Amino acid sequence: MLPLLLSSVTLLSAPALAAVAARGEGFIHAPVKATRGTPKLLRRQAEEATTNHKAGTMYTLDIDLGTPPQTITVILDTGSPDLWVNPTCETSGEPEYCAQFAQFDYTTSSTIADTGYADILSYGKGNVTIEYVTDMVTIGSAQITDQIFGVNFESYDIPMGILGLSPAVNPAGGDYPFVLDNMASQGLINSRAFSLDLRGVDSPDGAIIFGGIDTGKFIGNLEALPILDPSQTPSGADRYWVALTGLGVTLPDGTSQTSEEIAVPVFLDSGGTLSRLPTPIFQAIGDVFPGAQFDPDSGFYVVDCSVANQPGSLDFVFNSKVISVAWADFIWELQEGVCVVGVLPGDDEPVFGDSFLRAAYVVYDQDNRSLHIAQAANCGTNVVAIGASGVPADLVGDCTGVEAPTPTAGAGGGLDVTQTRAPTNTITGASPALTTLGFGGPGPAATGGRKSTTVGGLGPAPTGTSNGGNGGNGGNGGNGGNGDKKNGAVAGVSVGSGAMVALAAVNVAAWLL
């Protein structure tokens, strides 16, 4: 047998200290940092060096791994389920940036054990080949024992490890216990739920609360929205999908326009910088901004940067709740003096990324398969634990502020979000040189998280032959991808898991040399 990744470490049986996690308040509070607050909003232009236009905002969390604990920074991603660390900086696309962050030295952890399983995870942008280990994972005050996570040995286009918090992407199941699962099963939280408060780019420190809700961070009630069944969604992948039921716009003069009632599945992805919405909605949003011109080269609507200073908002409707996003938060200055509307077309996997999530306070409840959303605000801290029966129905935010009114059926009008049409204004001739830029943050930001896994459960360990052996059965063939926008793969097309596991073995061998 090939010596596995952790050959220098004595394999441990289940650590004796498992399952004696201290029971605390029933919730775990941890700060979330916005890393590199770009794409730059207009109002930050003065203080921001324009060195890396392609960067997106990434929301990150510091976690501790191993014994003694090593602090590692990971991207917080609600669009994928796995935790893994140690990106390959050389092939990350941003080697210097990547190298700023500590890597987990697994050889010094006394509690680590190898599982003998490997996997390849593919994201919207980038992929990673990992070997699964188990070790202590500490997040805030919570110490999780025997958490399975991945240690990378070859990754592309991802500059930082990822903490995934989505359900198992494959609806058929067969996955292993993820971080949220273990927090609940080890008694650290009462149910598999967490809330996320990302904050604006101007006040970048948000928080994640596992098993709790901070009523000091929103206005009004929390609207409960069922997480859509994967079969109701365009990609068939199980993510935090909810139905967008309408779109409105409040114009700078205070007047508003609304769409007719719709029911468009959209998922919430904290690992995604951009929002991608079905083409008719994308066009309706683009055309709202005064003077916006569609740029066929980049796919964005280009808008005069001064529009970001106008007091308009986009109003996204979810049943009786409206989440307003200020124009300033939806307009990005991608290049000196060149601004775009921060949404692209996305018909395969419509997604709300950070530009939306900064305006919303969202509770993600996996046990009850529901999201609970409210307009975000900040008026102090009052954390309430989520009990075993889920999010209290009568919880109201402590913050005062004006919520956008719920649109009444048939009222307003003026926004057509159902028909694809020719853009009102299109840039002809030279576009403003946007085509040379990469968009979206690194890693899963580009298209919203893990698209496919090689195996539904853990694949078998790589074997030691030079061709990777038989690679085992490769699990159940993964979730079959869920809509690769680039190559047009569609839901249900299975990734060749056996081949990938074999590849992993080859790479493990190379890595060990």
Ligand X SMILES: *[C@@H]1O[C@H](CO)[C@@H](O)[C@H](O)[C@H]1NC(C)=O
Residues identified as active-site: 77, 269
Q: How far does CA 375 lie from the centroid of its chain?
A: 19
CA-based R_g, the chain, Å: 23
* Shortest Å distance, C-beta 125 to ligand X: 9
Q: Torsions phi, psi of 439, nearest 5?
A: -120, 155
CB 287 within 8 A of CB 343: no
Among 120, 148, 225, 373, binds ligand X (CB under 6 A): 120
Q: How many chain residues touch ligand X (CB under 6 A)?
A: 12
* Shortest Å distance, C-beta 126 to ligand X: 6
Instruction: Using the minimum distance from each CB to ligand X, give the nearer residue, 41 or 193.
Output: 193
Q: Which residues contact 397 (CB under 8 A, 6 or more apart)?
A: 215, 216, 217, 218, 219, 220, 221, 222, 361, 374, 377
* Shortest Å distance, C-beta 253 to ligand X: 40
Compute the distance between CA of residue 5 and CA of residue 156 in angstroms, rounded to an integer: 19
Instruction: Using the minimum distance from each CB to ligand X, give the nearer residue, 192 or 358.
Output: 192
Amino acid at 215: T
* Shortest Å distance, C-beta 495 to ligand X: 8
What would the x/- binding string for ligand X be over residues 165 to 184, using CB under 6 A? --------------------
Cα within 13 Å of Cα(218), Cβ side = 32
Q: Torsions phi, psi of 422, nearest 5?
A: -70, 135
- The continuous run of DSSP H or E covering 329 comes out as helix 327-330
* Shortest Å distance, C-beta 86 to ligand X: 16
Among 67, 127, 279, 310, binds ligand X (CB under 6 A): 127
CB 338 within 8 A of CB 302: yes
- The continuous run of DSSP H or E covering 364 comes out as strand 360-365
Instruction: Using the minimum distance from each CB to ligand X, give the nearer residue, 293 or 368.
Output: 368
391: contact with ligand X by CB under 6 A:
yes
Compute the distance between CA of residue 112 and CA of residue 134 in angstroms, rounded to an integer: 6
Q: Torsions phi, psi of 279, nearest 5?
A: -50, -45
Instruction: Using the minimum distance from each CB to ligand X, give the nearer residue, 328 or 446.
Output: 446
From 39-47, 305-313, 383-391, 436-444, give the range in contact with ligand X by CB under 6 A: 383-391
Instruction: Using the minimum distance from each CB to ligand X, give the nearer residue, 122 or 215.
Output: 122
Residue spans of alpha helices (H) in 144-256: 179-185
> End-to-end distance of the chain based on CA atoms, in angstroms?
15
From 106-114, 144-152, 316-324, 388-396, give the range in contact with ligand X by CB under 6 A: 388-396
* Shortest Å distance, C-beta 142 to ligand X: 22
* Shortest Å distance, C-beta 434 to ligand X: 22
Burial classification of residue 366, based on how many CB atoms lie within 10 Å of its CB (0-12 exposed, 13-18 middle, 19 or more buried): buried
Among 370, 431, 453, 507, binds ligand X (CB under 6 A): 370
Bridge-based pairing state of the strands 343-345 and 275-277: parallel
Quick one: tokens of 432? 């403003």
Among 290, 390, 438, 464, binds ligand X (CB under 6 A): 390
Residues 261-300 that bind ligand X (CB under 6 A): none
Q: Which residues contact 228 (CB under 8 A, 6 or more apart)?
A: 241, 242, 243, 265
Instruction: Using the minimum distance from each CB to ligand X, give the nearer residue, 155 or 431.
Output: 155
221: contact with ligand X by CB under 6 A:
no
In residues, how long is the chain? 513
Residues 188-217 that bind ligand X (CB under 6 A): none
Residues 247-266 that bind ligand X (CB under 6 A): none
156: contact with ligand X by CB under 6 A:
yes
Give the single-character DSSP code of 307.
Answer: G
Compute the distance between CA of residue 71 and CA of residue 64 in angstroms, rounded to an integer: 4
145: contact with ligand X by CB under 6 A:
no
Which residue in the shown chain puts its C-beta closest to ligand X? 390
Among 92, 122, 143, 447, binds ligand X (CB under 6 A): 122
From 167-175, 334-342, 385-393, 482-490, give the range in contact with ligand X by CB under 6 A: 385-393
Instruction: Using the minimum distance from each CB to ligand X, give the nearer residue, 259 or 497.
Output: 497
Compute the distance between CA of residue 417 and CA of residue 422 in angstroms, rounded to an integer: 13
Instruction: Using the minimum distance from each CB to ligand X, give the nearer residue, 275 or 370.
Output: 370
389: contact with ligand X by CB under 6 A:
yes
From 304-312, 390-398, 434-442, 460-468, give the range in contact with ligand X by CB under 6 A: 390-398
Instruction: Using the minimum distance from each CB to ligand X, give the nearer residue, 127 or 406.
Output: 127
Quick one: tokens of 177? 């216990």
Label each residue of 495-512 as H, E or C. Answer: CCHHHHHHHHHHHHHHHH
Concatenated DSSP letters for 434-462?
-TTS--S-TGGGTTTS--EES-SSPPPPP
* Shortest Å distance, C-beta 127 to ligand X: 4
From 119-127, 167-175, 280-288, 297-305, give the range in contact with ligand X by CB under 6 A: 119-127
Concatenated DSSP letters for 41-52?
PGGGGGG---S-
Which positions lie near ligand X, rule CB under 6 A?
Answer: 120, 122, 127, 156, 224, 368, 370, 389-391, 393, 500
